[in-house]
Amino acid sequence: MDKDDLKLNALLDNYQVNDADGDLLDRIVNHAKKQPTNVVRLPLRQREPWLKNVALIAATAVLGFWYGNSTIEPVNYRENPSATASQASYSSNLDNELLGPKSYSEVML
Amino acid sequence: MQTNLTDHELMLLVAQRDVTAYRELVARYLNFCTRFAERMVGSRHDAEDIAQEACLKIWNEAPRWQPKAKFSTWLYRVMFNSCIDYKRKVIPLPLADESSIMDESLSADELINQEQNSKRVQQALHKLPERQRAAIVLSYYEEFNNQQAAETLDMQLNAFQQLLFRARQNLKSELFQYYVEHKNGQR
């Protein structure tokens, strides 16, 4: 340790602070006693046991809905798309059935 | 009440909400906590608040306590982090000097001199970065060995030694420069 270090230590010695007093210890212990007893945070699965069941039911519902939707045929599903393409230039069969032929020539056809 | 129980054994009792064990454990470390916090934040009042918060953490964390590190090391780290958090939250006020201890055997001139030196050291300490200040407080005032201080600041031993060296260099330049200027001003 050189001369400067000793000089620094001598200066540092000037700055002293007091120890804690007894009142502070009492205050801390009293404060701790007033802490809520449920301050210990348990893991989520122990705090909310119902949450697991709700999550399982929700996941099953979502999966069921998705699976159901993916396997049902759409309302406008067509067996043979090429057949409808050929009819596109004419009125649709459904129109003919509901409204009847538009002209005499169609009746002849 | 003084017991021969270790910190770990007391902590297990605190986990079962044993107030006597808690009082014993806090009493062991309260002086360190207040002294360390006061030198870190520069105010006795704030230091007591920080020490109280840290000691409440002992109570609250006890049920989950796992002896991965020594209890004392854990508490010193809690104290250091609490001081850092406090400094970030609170706008710094002028440093208080209400708690500096004066040696009653000294003459009036010497007392004034000591008080001035104390203030000067306090101001110089507070100009240091937080980790450097903590290194000085732990190493010089609390007389921790380097290994213990390095663990408290969560550093490697070599890194702590460098930090302490830089801290002492900064303090020397800050304090010695003042005294050189002070002497020149008096002439």
Q: Predicted confidence band at B119 (pLDDT cuts at 50, 70, 90)?
A: confident
Instruction: Give the Cα separation of B149 and B155 in Å (integer).
Output: 9
A27: nearest CA partner in chain B: B52
Identify whether the C-beta of residue B115 lies closer than 8 Å to the C-beta of residue B54: no
Does the pLDDT of residue B102 top 70, yes or no?
A: no
In which element (H, E) is residue B34 found?
helix B19-41
Q: What is the pLDDT of residues A46-72, one digit of tens each?
A: 677 888 899 999 999 999 999 888 877
**Length of chain A in residues, anyone?**
109
Distance from CA of B124 to the nearest CA of A (A): 10
H helix runs in A2-49, sequence order: 3-12, 22-33, 44-47
Please state the φ and ψ torsions of residue A71, each to the nearest 5 degrees: -105, -15
Give pLDDT tens digits for A5-32. Answer: 888 888 888 888 888 888 899 999 999 9
Residues of A in contact with B30 (CB under 8 A): 20, 24-25, 28
The answer to whether A14 contacts B114, with C-beta atoms less than 8 Å apart, is yes
pLDDT at B50: 93
Residue B96 confidence (pLDDT): 53
pTM for the complete prediction? 0.67
**Which of A1, A21, A24, A31 best probes binding to B when mutated, by most B CB atoms within 10 angstroms?**
A24
Which residue of B30, B114, B125 is in closest CB contact with A24? B30
Closest CA to B99 of B2, B49, B34: B34
ipTM of this complex: 0.78
Minimum mean pLDDT range among B14-18, B122-126, B179-183: B179-183
Average pLDDT over residues B65-70: 82
pLDDT of residue A50: 87
The widest CA-to-CA distance across chain A, in whole angstroms, is 123
8 Å CB contact of A20 and B48:
yes
pLDDT grade, residue B81 (50/70/90)? very high
- How far does the CA of residue B151 sit from the closest CA of chain A (Å)? 23
Instruction: For residue A14, give how far its alpha carbon lies from the nearest alpha carbon of chain B (Å).
Output: 5
- Interface mutation target, options A1, A17, A31, A42, chain B, most CBs of B under 10 Å: A17
Determine the Cα angle at B154 with ends B93 and B141, to 5°: 55
Residues of B in contact with A19 (CB under 8 A): 31, 34-35
User: Of B177, B97, B173, nearest to B128 (Cα)?
Assistant: B173
Q: What is the pLDDT of residue A81?
A: 57
Tell me, what's the pLDDT at B67? Answer: 79
CB contact at 8 A, B82 and B32 = no
For the ranges A48-62, B46-60, B87-101, the lowest mean pLDDT is seen at B87-101
What is the pLDDT at residue B77? Answer: 92
Closest CB to B100 among A8, A17, A37 = A17
- Whether A24 and B53 have beta carbons less than 8 Å apart is answered as no
Do residues A20 and B30 touch, judged by C-beta distance below 8 A? yes
The single-letter code of the amino acid at B175 is: L
Task: Name which of B105-109, B116-120, B161-165 the model is least confident about.
Answer: B105-109
Residues 6+ apart with CB under 8 A from B118: A14, A15, A16, B97, B100
Torsion of CA B170, B160, A20, B19, to 10 degrees: 160
The pLDDT value recorded for residue A107 is 62
Please check the confidence at residue B148 and state whether its pLDDT lies above 80: yes
Q: Over 60: is that where the pLDDT of B83 sits?
A: yes
